Amino acid sequence: MAKKDFKVSISTISGGSVFNILKVFRENKIDTGYVPRAATSLAFSLFAEPFRLWEHLRFDHAVNKLEMKEPPVFILGHWRSGTTHLHNVMCEDPNMGYITTYQGVFPELLASGWLFKTFMKSVMPEKRASDNVVLSADFPQEEEFAIGNMNPYGFYNYWFFPKKTKEYYERFVEFKEASDELISRWKNDYERLAKKALIYTGRKRFISKNPPHTGRVRLLLEMFPDARFIHIYRNPVTVFISTKKLVESTLPAVQFQDISNDEMEENILWVYERMMKRYLKDRSLIPKKNLVEIRFEEFEKNTVPELERIYATLGLDGFAAAQPAMKKYLESQKSYEKNRYKIFRPVVDRITNRWKFAMDEWNYSLPENLEITG
């Protein structure tokens, strides 16, 4: 199977169980053009079912026995705010256990990685289409796809059915009107996912980079009262432009329904507004010693001092030992090519109107290198 063909024949939902997929499909309308993708994804999941059974036999005892002795670290921030870069650097610390890209898609197939990872590597692009970041099945990854492939309650189901973005945000980030049973199931599955990451990487402290968690501070504190939080923020205008490019480049590979440009832009504006206002409201719940906020532009210029500040503020040990590996990783990123952005004036006006609260909160104006047309 050629890499270019993978995008039209299978979706990341195939990493979940047949039960999960059928539940999600029953709740949504699959556009006609995506029926073959849906059928192939379902068939792939069905093929993997025996391997999921083996996964439980292989890992359940170890997962149940494991105690997360070190408080986890949660990197918060909207998509395209620098969360990936910060996560990648901190995962160079040999203490930090993380979700890999492979685990992010196939969270219940770790014991069968010899088979499914080989498949993933054969079809995976070398770089992320939205920003040229190098990809690998073993690199650190966010966990929202994994959550949705362990149960039907992942926010990233919106990638498959983008018209339901707002509904999925309310149901699976804010857990609006969610039953106690659903929330309990989500918590149990998430803890299982984190423990498996520690087992899989052989490390002791779980570090998460998952943008939807920015709206889940209350829930995470219920699970991990002494968790550490890092919030990284970036110029909202840049975030909008980059997020739209992310959505435009990712949707064709996973979606089961189409969405208009206007709907896409509205979803981006709405989710950012809802998520960041909730974070600003809930961050006071985090003990001051357990929260550090960093400005992406400052982190980009002074990465090592900012990392040292993070470790010192949060009381994390191991910075001195991890620093050589971190610096080596940073050296490898010096050839990274950044995207240049253009934007229409009416869109800029919508951003600065809807997201004014964030621009005021973090003292941002329009980026100097922004090319505004129209």
Task: Count how many residues are written for the chain.
Answer: 374
pLDDT at 339: 64
Give the pair of three-digit tokens for residue 105: 């898609």
The answer to which of 118-122, 268-272, 358-362 has the lowest mean pLDDT is: 118-122
Q: In sequence order, what E strands does the chain have?
A: 73-76, 96-97, 205-209, 228-233, 291-295, 342-344, 371-373
Indicate whether 27 belongs to any domain. yes
Residue (of 320, 315, 80, 99) closest to 214 by Cα position: 80
Give the pair of three-digit tokens for residue 126: 């070398």
The phi-psi region of residue 136 (left if phi > 0; otherwise alpha if psi is between -120 and 50; otherwise beta) is: beta
- The CA-atom distances, in angstroms, between 128 and each of 41, 137, 201 are 21, 12, 23
Give the pair of three-digit tokens for residue 10: 């299978």
Buried b (16+ CB within 10 A) or exposed e, 44-72: bbeebeebbeebeeebeeebeebebebbb
Distance CA 365, CA 351 (A): 11
Indicate whether 333 belongs to any domain. yes
Distance CA 82, CA 84 (A): 6
- Quick: pLDDT tens for 177-187: 999 999 999 99
DSSP state of 79: T
pLDDT higher than 60, residue 1: no
Q: With contact defined as beta carbons under 8 Å apart, do 80 and 247 qualify?
A: no
pLDDT higher than 50, residue 135: yes
Indicate whether 358 belongs to any domain. no
pLDDT higher than 60, residue 326: yes
Number of domains in the chain: 1
The band of 131, judged by pLDDT with boundaries at 50, 70 and 90, is low
Is residue 169 exposed (0-12), middle (13-18) or buried (19+ Cβ within 10 Å)? buried
The one-letter amino acid at 64? N
Indicate whether 299 belongs to any domain. yes
Indicate whether 82 belongs to any domain. yes
Distance CA 160, CA 10 (A): 11
Phi first, then psi: give them for residue 10, nearest 5 degrees.
-155, 155
DSSP state of 285: G
Write down the pTM of the prediction: 0.94
Give the pair of three-digit tokens for residue 61: 């005892």
- Quick: pLDDT tens for 203-234: 999 999 999 999 999 999 999 999 999 999 99
pLDDT higher than 70, residue 333: yes
- Please report the DSSP string for 186-215 in residue order: HHHHHHHHHHHHHHHHT-SEEEEE-GGGGG
Distance CA 320, CA 313 (A): 15
Indicate whether 36 belongs to any domain. yes
pLDDT higher than 70, residue 57: yes
The answer to which of 117-121, 159-163, 165-169, 197-201 has the lowest mean pLDDT is: 117-121
Q: In sequence order, what E strands does 210-264 have?
A: 228-233
Residue (of 19, 12, 17) closest to 38 by Cα position: 12
Indicate whether 252 belongs to any domain. yes
Instruction: Return the residue matching tokens 């984190």.
Output: 194
Which CATH number fits the domain that encloses residue 106?
3.40.50.300
Indicate whether 235 belongs to any domain. yes
- The sign of the CA dihedral 157, 254, 347, 279 is positive
Distance CA 180, CA 202 (A): 33
Q: Which of the two residues, 134 and 205, has the higher pLDDT score?
A: 205
Q: With contact defined as beta carbons under 8 Å apart, do 140 and 99 qualify?
A: yes
The answer to which of 46-60, 112-126, 329-343, 360-374 has the lowest mean pLDDT is: 329-343
Its domain, for residue 119, covers: 3-341
The one-letter amino acid at 215? G
Average pLDDT for residues 265-285, to the nearest whole number? 98
- The CA-atom distances, in angstroms, between 230 and each of 291, 314, 338, 362 are 6, 9, 24, 15
The band of 129, judged by pLDDT with boundaries at 50, 70 and 90, is low
